[in-house]
Structure 1
């Protein structure tokens, strides 16, 4: 059975995007960017909701060809293009690169994918992750918390029907006071 990991950058007050989908507060240091690269490289499949997919696919397909792209950005762009991905959306009808579109029941498809053998899967996007959380499908939470308060926007966590007990498995501090915490579900 595959492990499902939900991880994103978030603000200290718990938002993955400020009002208006503003993520200007989330620019990673080189060290954090490298950590996210290694995290994604260890994954076998990435699951995206529509909004995060549109954000990622608007930059990373040609991220290695941008003027001034760093070695890490070039490596990540190549990894991103080659990584198998599944996009869950009922409002788009086409995806590119190494990607498959699912327009039906996200929870049923994620459950099916988890039952397969293989490397861990990562999931991103607040709405998609919320559905997986409510269904009890998340095995690990990765919170990369920036020392900023934005007062509103898109929350990392959703309302749940019950408690989810977690075990802390890692903490790490990055430049700028950014704190990584990883938790596994019990």
Structure 2
């Protein structure tokens, strides 16, 4: 069975984006960017909701060709292009960059993928992750908390029908007061 990881940057008050999908508060330090790159290198399949897919596919296909791209950003772009992706959406009709589109039941497809062989998968996008979280499919949470309160926006966590007990497996501090907490489900 494959491991399913949900991890994103979030504000101290629990949002992955602020009002109007603003991400300006979450610009990573070089050390944090390197952390995310190292994590992404271990993923064998990315699972994206439409909004996150649109954000990622707007930049990373050519992120390594930007004049100011750092070595880590160049590697991130290459890794992103090379890693297989599944995009869950009923409103777009085409994806590229080593991705396939699923318009049907996301939870059923992710359950099927998780039951198969292969390396870890990462679910990205708060709406998609919320459905997967409610289905009890997430094995690990990587929460990178930034010291900012944005007041509203898209929440990292969704309403659950029952408790989920977690075990803390790692903490780490990054420049600017950013803190990683990594948990596995019990």
The DSSP-based 3-state class of the residue aligned with 1:10 is strand
Structure 1 residue 70: deviation in Å?
0.6
The DSSP-based 3-state class of the residue aligned with 2:94 is coil
Structure 1 residue 172: deviation in Å?
0.2
> Is 1:15 matched up with 2:15?
yes
Aligned pairs for 1:119-138 within 5 A:
119-138=119-138
1:18-37 alpha-carbon deviations (Å, 9 max, x no partner)? 01000000000111101100
Count of matched residue pairs: 186
Aligned pairs for 1:1-186 within 5 A:
1-186=1-186
The DSSP-based 3-state class of the residue aligned with 2:133 is helix
Structure 1 residue 117: deviation in Å?
1.1
Structure 1 residue 13: deviation in Å?
0.3
1:28-58 alpha-carbon deviations (Å, 9 max, x no partner)? 0111101100101001100000000000000
Structure 1 residue 67: deviation in Å?
1.3
Write the distance in 1 (CA, Å) between the matches of 2:55 and 2:32: 19
The DSSP-based 3-state class of the residue aligned with 1:59 is helix
Structure 1 residue 118: deviation in Å?
1.0
Where has structure 1 moved over 6 Å in runs of 4 or more?
none
